[in-house]
Amino acid sequence: MAVIEVKKLHKIYKTGEVEVHAVRGIDLQIEQGEFTAIVGPSGSGKTTLLNLIGGLDEPTEGRVIIDGTDITQLKDNQLIDFRLWNIGFVFQAYNLIPVLTAKENIEFIMHLQGKNKEERERRALELLQEVGLADRANSRPSQLSGGQQQRIAVARALASKPKFVLADEPTANLDSVATTNLLELMEQLNREENMTFVFATHDSRVIEKAHRIIRIEDGQVVNDEKVK
């Protein structure tokens, strides 16, 4: 069974009289362990699609089934809880709570899950090790570079042990070295822990690393191919 299953998905934004048909009937399956890029020109609907998959937005039509659960049927509060336990998020920016240290940021999501202090600390340190920032555990986000912040965000996304990680333009604010580093980190996590990653991007350096590339234009899938 696919971990993400999208069926006849539509999203129409209404602003006053104007209707924007951002997603027009997308069908999609993503299997456990995939390393998938959603690519396409600006305004093509990448963010919209990712938000729908992540339960951050409601579709106008169609279904999003995550690991057998139709999340379009969930109530608001159930959806928040579902995200907490099942989906990891890495955003382009504003991923971290500025008043908490790197380690505390990773712990925070486990705190929301009700994990005890001991477990939280152990896993946070483990993840800091994995993303190569063990020495920055006590730094605040403002004391970290953009690339380091995104690594912490990846660690935070993994901390909740999600079924997959959604990343919307995670490298948009990074230079090429940091971009390569972050991509290598995600790829390594995908390889070693079989973690599923789905990321939206139009950065060619990122696209190169993807194992599957889903190209969308005008809210529709125009190409879908396995490259590795």
Partner 1 sequence: MILSIAWKNIWRNKVRSLILIGTIAFALAGTIFIIGMMDGWMKDRNIKVIETELAHIQIHNPDFVSNLSLRDTISSGQKIISQIMKMDFTMAVNGRIKVMAMVSSSYSSQGALVIGIDPDRKHEVTKVYKYLSDSTSKWLDQVKRQNVVIIGRKMAKDLQMVNYMITDASLSTLADMGLPLSIISKLDSLQGKKFHTTTRFYNALEKLLTEKELDQYADLIANSCHSYKLGRKIIIRMQDINGNVVEEAFRIIGVYDTDNDLFDGMYLFVKKPYLAGLLGLSHGTINEIAIITNDQRKVEEYKATLKQKFPGLLIESIFDMDPTMRIMTSLIWIYYAIFEAFILFALSFGIVNTMLMAVMERTKELGMLMAIGMNRRRVFSMIMNESVLLTLTGGIIGIILGYLLVLYTGHAGINLSKYAQQGMEAMGYSAVIYPHASPLLLAETTVLVVITGMLAAVYPAIKALKLKPAQALHTDV
Q: Count of H helices and E strands in the chain?
A: 7, 10
Contact 29, 5 (CB under 8 A): yes
Closest CB 52 distance from partner 1, rounded Å: 9
205 binds, among Mg ion, ligand ATP, partner 1, none (CB under 5 to 8 A by kind): none
Helix (H) or strand (E) holding 12: strand 4-15
Contact 69, 11 (CB under 8 A): no
| DSSP state string for 64-85 | EEETTEEGGGS-HHHHHHHHHH
The CA dihedral of 121, 122, 127, 133, to the nearest 10 degrees, is 70
54 binds, among partner 1, Mg ion, ligand ATP, none (CB under 5 to 8 A by kind): partner 1
By CB under 8 A, the residues from 21 to 40 that bind partner 1 are none
Quick note: the x/- pattern for ligand ATP over 98-137, rule CB under 6 A, is ----------------------------------------
Cα 147 to Cα 145: distance, rounded to the nearest angstrom: 5
Quick note: the x/- pattern for ligand ATP over 4-43, rule CB under 6 A, is ---------x-x----x-x-----------------x-xx
Closest CB 84 distance from partner 1, rounded Å: 3
SS3 assignment for 174-205? CCHHHHHHHHHHHHHHHHHHCCEEEEEECCHH
User: Interface with partner 1 includes 198 (CB under 8 A)?
Assistant: no
Closest CB 20 distance from partner 1, rounded Å: 14
Quick note: the x/- pattern for partner 1 over 107-126, rule CB under 8 A, is xxx-xxx-------------
Quick note: the x/- pattern for partner 1 over 125-154, rule CB under 8 A, is ------------------------------
Nearest CB to partner 1, comparing residues 160 and 181: 160
Applying CB under 5 A, among 47, 51, 196, 201 the residue interacting with Mg ion is 47
Applying CB under 6 A, among 28, 45, 105, 167 the residue interacting with ligand ATP is 45
User: Whose CA is closest to 5, among 23, 44, 24, 31?
Assistant: 31
Cα 220 to Cα 46: distance, rounded to the nearest angstrom: 10
User: Interface with ligand ATP includes 171 (CB under 6 A)?
Assistant: no
